[in-house]
């Protein structure tokens, strides 16, 4: 596996791969790789000639007071894991490389960035969309792989990639979970033992939503209310949002129609750690 830390070097390599007719798959990450990230790499490996894994802790998607400074960083460990999962190129740019002095061009996606995570974290998706589109332009992938756990990010990137005519296919991989159901996340490391046990309530709340829909419940308010009771019954926790929405537009649903696919999602703060999770529910 080759490690590249300069934008110009990554662009040159991508140009060579393209001229040679190789298919490039990109897995964008912020590092602190875990089994969920490695599953994304394996999916890319199965369909690409060249797999590029990028690691960049993007300062523009963190709000003041969030955990940018303390976000876990271990590039040597990440490089070893990426290589073991099948990556060919490990792209590790600095902040100065990605956002040089005087940088002032941003990707804003209207509508779907102002709700859910966007409402709680103003400016977050401007930073996400900008850095991902930059990575598309630098690494020139044919496709990029993302996890379903970040469902709103997927919706934002899919829209930006399509409307800006990048030609990049967005591949989405189901959420990878711990045996007890907790979605894998780099921020799980912030949880102490008691908080870690309480965090399983996110998965259980989604299970409750799925069971209610399967039993015939069609009132979103009753379903989100049941989800909230699961969270509150698990111990101290602060619910940021619980949502049943259209998975593409993220518009909140007032009723569940037969045949619809619904995005059930939530964000909950347990201790000092903010966790998110979601599941796609099909209304029979």
Domain residue ranges of the chain, discontinuous segments joined by +:
2-173, 186-282
**Helix pair angle (220-232, 201-215), 10° resolution:** 150
Q: What is the pLDDT along the chain (284 residues), one digit of tens a residue?
A: 999 999 999 999 999 999 999 999 999 999 999 999 999 999 999 999 999 999 999 999 998 889 999 999 999 999 999 999 999 999 999 999 999 999 999 999 999 999 999 998 999 999 999 999 999 999 999 999 999 999 999 999 999 999 999 999 999 999 999 999 999 999 999 999 999 999 999 999 999 999 999 999 999 999 999 999 999 999 999 999 999 999 999 999 999 999 999 999 999 999 999 999 999 999 98
For residue 284, the model assigns a pLDDT of 87
pLDDT for 140-180, tens place per residue?
Answer: 999 999 999 999 999 999 999 999 999 999 999 999 999 99
Which of the 8 DSSP states describes residue 118? H
For residue 65, the model assigns a pLDDT of 87
Based on the residue annotation, tell me whether 34 is a catalytic residue of this protein.
no
Distance between CA atoms of 196 and 11, rounded to whole angstroms?
A: 41
Domain 186-282 has CATH 3.40.190.10: no
Hey, do 2-173 and 186-282 end up sharing a CATH topology, with the first three levels equal? Answer: no
For residue 169, the model assigns a pLDDT of 98
Strand partners, 23: none
Residue from 80, 87, 20 nearest 52 by CA:
87
Half-sphere exposure of 116 (CA within 13 A, CB side): 29
Which of the 8 DSSP states describes residue 88? S
Residue from 268, 271, 263 nearest 243 by CA:
263
- Candidate list 34, 37, 124, 142, residue with the active-site label: 37
Which of the 8 DSSP states describes residue 254? S
Residue from 95, 152, 145 nearest 121 by CA:
152
| Domain covering 2-173 in this structure, CATH number | 3.40.50.620
Q: Is the pTM of this model over 0.85?
A: yes
Residue from 212, 216, 284 nearest 242 by CA:
212
């Amino acid at each position: 596996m080759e490690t590249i830390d300069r934008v110009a070097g990554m662009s040159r390599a991508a140009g060579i791969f393209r001229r040679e007719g190789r298919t490039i798959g990109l897995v964008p990450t912020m590092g602190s790789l875990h089994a969920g990230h490695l599953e994304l790499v394996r999916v890319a490996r199965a369909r690409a000639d060249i797999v590029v894994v990028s690691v960049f802790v993007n300062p523009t998607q963190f709000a003041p007071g969030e955990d940018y400074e303390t976000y876990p960083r271990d590039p040597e460990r990440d490089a070893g894991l990426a290589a073991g999962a099948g990556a060919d190129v490990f792209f590790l740019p600095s902040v100065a490389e990605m956002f040089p002095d005087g940088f002032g061009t941003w990707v804003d996606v209207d509508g779907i960035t102002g709700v859910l995570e966007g409402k709680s974290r103003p400016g977050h998706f401007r930073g996400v969309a900008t850095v991902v589109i930059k990575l598309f332009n630098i690494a020139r992938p044919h496709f990029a792989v993302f996890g379903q756990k970040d469902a709103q990010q997927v919706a934002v990137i899919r829209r930006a990639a399509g409307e800006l005519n990048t030609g990049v296919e967005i591949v989405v991989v189901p959420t990878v979970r711990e045996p007890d159901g907790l979605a894998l996340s780099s921020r799980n490391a912030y949880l102490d033992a008691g908080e870690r046990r309480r965090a399983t309530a996110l998965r259980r709340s989604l299970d409750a939503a799925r069971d209610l829909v399967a039993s015939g419940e069609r009132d979103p308010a009753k379903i989100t209310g049941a989800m909230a009771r699961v969270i509150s019954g698990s111990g101290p926790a602060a619910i940021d949002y619980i949502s049943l929405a259209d998975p593409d537009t993220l518009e909140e649903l007032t009723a569940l129609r037969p045949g619809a696919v619904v995005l059930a999602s939530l964000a909950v703060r347990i201790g000092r750690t903010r966790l998110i999770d979601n599941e796609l529910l099909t209304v029979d």
